[in-house]
Amino acid sequence: MTKARKTYVLKLYVAGNTPNSVRALKTLKNILDQEFQGIYALKVIDVLKNPQLAEEDKILATPTLSKILPPPVRKIIGDLSDRERVLIGLDLLYEELSEEDWEEQSNL
């Protein structure tokens, strides 16, 4: 029996070929090639050509990366230049909380 692999389904919303959109796509492809190694499906949606898709998914800014699967759905807005933030958003990297941070969170 083969072990089921987690597959990531991602949508990247861009607005044409703006510098931020191009940078976001380039950065995302780099991250996917290094971290995901073929276990993802990426759909790039140009909101200028398909505004109804952006409206349906409640996209208010571009570029926006939306992780559809695995749950929960997550959205990351911006050019994706902060690699650590992208990995945390995709549930590949978890920020470690110190005991003090944990106590602060618990007291809220």
pLDDT per residue of the chain (108 residues) written in tens, 0 to 9: 444 557 889 999 999 999 999 999 999 999 988 888 778 899 999 999 999 999 999 999 999 999 998 888 899 999 899 888 888 887 776 544 444 444 544 444
Residue with tokens 């602060």: 104
Taking the C-alpha atoms of residue 103 and residue 57, their distance in angstroms, rounded to an integer, is 36
Of 26, 38, 42, 34, which Cα lies nearest the Cα of 81?
A: 26
Q: List, in order of start, the domains of the chain with CATH numbers.
A: 8-107 (3.40.30.10)
pTM (2 decimals)?
Answer: 0.77
Strand intervals (E) in the chain: 8-14, 40-46, 64-69, 74-77
Q: 63 near 20, Cβ under 8 Å? A: yes
